[in-house]
Structure 1
């Protein structure tokens, strides 16, 4: 028995594809023949093959593995037909803990028709399917356009498309299944809506192809939608035979339209131009609003149903015409069906009806929208009331229809509703159906009706409600004036054009420090001073334009102190009568003490936070130094791990230096202080002296490290200095800090040589050395380089914003 290496070598010599499968039947290894069959990524090719083969292959794999593990013979594998026409026969063997799959490939069946090129070139939808199982074997792009998704079986197609292809309930139609080789193809037709929403009339030619015990279904589909639209257009043209008055035509299913003989037509004389002009009307001439009725007519013509339809057309010569078409089905001698179609031009009648209805609806709509109560009284009593009258009397028209006007008035002699009305204006008391009595002013006019009788129309205005509304308005205005005057808020009204003060209360006068009389007619500068007054004018203009509440704060000098006023500005548009001027309302409150209290609370919170942060940083530093001390003690007891612990101690000390610098500081850390602290820490840990230099002058105090970047950059600098000392062979290490307006550069040089072919990008991320530096540094704002310069190895670390930032206490350098 050969071991795994020997088995793999033997499998590579096999000419057939062989796969070694894991316990979950995924591909583990593949010989060259299998990679040639499935592709260089044999595992992915095997997965795609299983997906394409579907349930048959998965079922066989499950049954075969279960049978072999139970000691039984595996069932035969289903034949797989590949995309290039080849067939594959599979065999499964057990080689614990794996499986071995052997595939024998055979050439394509020479008797199969050459469909590939035919499918690509044909513009018609074509399909080749397994007639027994229903699997879709071949199809072209034109067929794919008829169905959504990627169907693999006839059952996946829409039901109408299945019926068109002779497939019903997972089986062929009996007429197609019984087809013999010498029979003509089976032709089917159906109306089908494709995925794009287009309605098509499709015709399919179906034929079965039998060979070597296998039956295939060949289908060719043709789109007959254009032919059907042409036939329908002919029907529409013939159905709309027009004359000046009546058009007559007869439709027979066998012979189509049979036009009536016009020789004896009573509409020929005097209407010759109309006959010629109305012939040839099609769907495009029908008015859009009449299309539903026109479609109903077409459906009736197709089915032979009786119908009467009126519709409008827009003729290029005769203009807009109304047609009335009546369809009457009947039977001719011999039992043949026919349909008589009679069309009348009813344009004049339709226009008269439309004008009359439009006039009546317009008059009723106007009267129903006015605020005056309108009541129409005919010979039989009240016959109509508008909305205002129904609201005035508290009733609906059905409650008083056909009753005299006296039911809406008190029982009093000489009342205008009980006596014969005159032409003058009257004023009287009325009683509503809800028992409410009120006074109205009105008049009555007599107008003739269509039947020759006279109609009396009353126009009534409820003056009680108007008087009540005026009194309530005056009361409300007086109450509002008292509230404004006594309110502790400063309230002013400004006219919208010049923003001059037209009204103010005592609090507003106290704000300005002037009497109310001196403030009237003044500008906002009287309230807030010249400087704040200009800003207030701009804010008021904004409020006038925005139609929304605008909130602003103004600081007004008050002797040695400054008062803060919170103001709300609102445009009072449309308030009062239509001819009332537009106003701007300003409501201001003194929030000086409130803002001072808020500022004091904020400063206390900031101070407390800074104290807590300093204490936390101090404790973190002490804890880190304690950890470093423990690690040093362990390194002293365990010399074998001393180098590793020494490196960890250096990293902990670097972090502790950062937290130590943050004690007593707020905001970003000074880069120069971090640089000096890390260099000093490394010198103490290594017992070596590092030559340092700094260039940049005032810029050295301008660059800082953000809090989020301080520890990663400090650790990186610690690792770069330690790395230079380790590889410097005891020679002097030089470190230079260079600052300019664009950023910061840290340059470290030590004697030594880089390995041959050394590339910094090949260094993998790790927990120490260059690997840790590459892992810690930000990708976009830090650039690390390592190069050989004569006998020195020079490491450059370039930092640009946002890894470094300008000192908030100084202005950025130009």
Structure 2
């Protein structure tokens, strides 16, 4: 036997710690330490992987009895979900002789998968290299209570093997008697941060958080008095630095050096507790955000069955949560809209995981309401949709307001069209009265005045007619208006075969405030051209050009007649027509100029309103 593995008294056994050997010749205590480890442990020969021993937790976790495992390999038992994972584990272990936290999935006897991590070391047992492995489940909620009794399976290995297991265990192992620590393995020392000498003068309660001491003391006393207590529990401890740590404790009453004691195995679960606390806070925050939302939040499966709803969702449909959970979302939609909603959901995929829609839904009382929703598909690793998450809002009021606004606008549009129609008719009646009045003038002295007034009225009436017929009641197309206006003026004034009209340019939208003045200006200038630009029976052309420069409209009215006399200032002219032109240009906040050249050419420039 190697000198460093002999079971003589340890140096730290003096000075307050009972003078027992680390494990002495008490094979039963060593067996208890092996059996009470809260994780699955196994010992395998390194050369061929044959299993030499397993603890009770191994059998509980994987479903195989000890006799079924001994003498067989993990491959022979088909323990690995992925055999390639075993090869990677073996390679890594051989390379370093020690491995911690290797993630693996093992198969239970019933075929279910057990996921966790493996820590292992290569040690010499009786001169033969062996692998000591500890398999730790991902969830410690599966830790079972370990039963220890005198009828446990007998061990065939010597004290030396069990001492190696205890000293190299990944869990802290200690023996406690009368509040004093009689034995502690290296991992226990590492967890609490004390040396063996320091620990010899400590009570076990020095390592327990003050808020936990009363509860642990009561449990300790009850256990020593024979009361059966839970073997596995969580508690808060204190390490040497004073830092609070969380421990998973597995304990059992044992005989130690002729007296009652408690054997404990501890695991540092501080990281897990911190993760659980962070998860709990995150869940509370998420729940508070979701439940306090005024928006409707739900989740549903691809067949639209609801798996989660918040309070706002339940209130919207007027049901309790329990009534809605499990229902199909499609059943909450009018039958006429179900096909459209199904097609909408069918369009989700990895490339397009989110979309929005507004549609009708039915409350429990059959009332039709509107829901605006944004959905996101939740995908698995293969890109398959496993669930939908939906956030929506009640848009019923908005839809009602929109319908009222549309209805009101339709009514106003009908009314406005009717007004334009009536104004046009009234202006045409006035024009007809002027025409009749002109017909009664036998001398013909005032006939031209009546005709000019009649044309001005018809020019205004044409604007109202264009607005009445337009899809946009607020504006008219200046180019189209000029074409109709010139056509009517030429028809009213004489032989169209002698005087030709031409209108070109681009469409410019004008409001009624700009259309009537600009139309009256064109009326006066075209009338003047017809009356004065051409001699009796002379032919010619009157042209109108429409264009736009930025936010201003440009109208050019020209003829091929004799032109104005040299030095003639149209702004000071005495004629009513030109005076109207000057005043109407001011009303438009525009400008007008006489362009030099053959014939008469006016350019009108005014802002588009």
**TM-score normalised according to structure 1 size:** 0.27
Q: Which protein has greater RCO, CA pairs closer than 8 Å, 6+ apart?
A: 2
**TM-score normalised according to structure 2 size:** 0.36
